[in-house]
Structure 1
Amino acid sequence: MPAPTRPRPAPAADLLPKIIMGVDPGTQIMGYALIEVRGQRVDVLCYDVINMKALGSNHAVKLKRIFDRMLELIDEYLPDELAIEAPFFGVNVQSMLKLGRAQGVAIAAALSRQIPYVEYAPTKVKQSVTGSGNSTKEQVAHMLRQTLKLPPIAEASTFLDATDALAVALCHHYQKGNNATVSGGKSWSNFLTENPERLGASTGAVKKKTPTKL
């Protein structure tokens, strides 16, 4: 008669694999990345970009491309959570609106598959990865290559939006989901409270400035 076996305890919740999708929104190039986390171990599943430069100036076509590609990635990798960078509050209102729509479409794709999302401010992402909220894209990519032991990329400059998305996913892992902005990120009202000198910008009383990326 075989000896009775003791049931094995269930693995700790933090040791169960979790897949995080990171997104760096854009209307010309959108970066995305997927990582698998098990405890402190992080494996990079993929990181790349959605390049929409060839789609012309039709914003609706670009938004549909973002939505369709997001659904393809979600259905392929089955992420548990989405981490997405919050739009930068610049002074070009039209650029902000377009970037906000792109971010909203990416979020909508995740929500359509019942995937929760968290927003992170760009400075928070940079600080989590490099220790400085003022780091450049190149510095973020360099730190990620060291931290995650990524292979060298021949055309690294074309992948900076992808490494930015990877940084967003890694930032979320570092936060362990304990982010106070789960319900919607840094609101416009909060921004104006923290930056009262920008109040005139919302009424168009400042000069336009072209953002670094759309």
Structure 2
Amino acid sequence: MFTGIVEDLGTVESLTRGADFAALAVSSDVVVTDRTLLGESIAVNGVCLTVTSIHGTTFTADVMHETLRRSSLGSLCRGSHVNVERAMPADSRFSGHIVSGHIDGTGDVQSIVRDGIATVYTIGAPRNLMRFIAEKGSIAVEGISLTVTFADERSFGVSIIPHTSEHTVLPERKVGDLVNLEIDPIARYVDRLLSMPQADTDEHSEPTSVSAPTLTRNFLLDHGF
């Protein structure tokens, strides 16, 4: 699990493509230290990858076909900058929001507008993702934990403070570029609960001592959601 608080801007050393996968090498003297272990997870532009080798301050990871298809990692090349974040240790502060590193899809940058010291990015997203994105809610864009400033049926906005601009890849994105999106997982689970009817008890079910209330829209509204 990650928090969406980017630790460093890494640099792509290579992206070697196979028939249905790619081998990615990224250098970062902040993320890759003597404590970095084979098999641990590092998020690259929001995509959770497994470290397969370490050479100095460079780590490699395999990127499967599904990941290449559903994310923007396939467009990387040598010299590209990427947001990198190690998995969150259990004893650390939780500064962002819950980020799994499992990309839900990509959006496209529709506009970039200055607003005082901030920069507002409007990002278009598919309708099947927009239903999970709400004003003042959380969204991970290129692995960055951000707050949604507005949302309609086709797009949403995020306001970027100078610190985020200075320490992430967002300033390198321009209108038309694709960005990785991960919705707030809480919204995903609520949607699943609402869309699946409660299973009926049958002879194969384990007996329960407490009958859970049916989760409905009215139930959530009555309880302050």
Q: Same fold (TM over 0.5)?
A: no
Structure with a larger share of its residues in strand: 2
Structure with a larger share of its residues in helix: 1
Q: Which structure ranks higher in relative contact order (CA pairs < 8 Å, sequence separation ≥ 6)?
A: 1
Per the normalisation by structure 1, the TM-score is 0.27
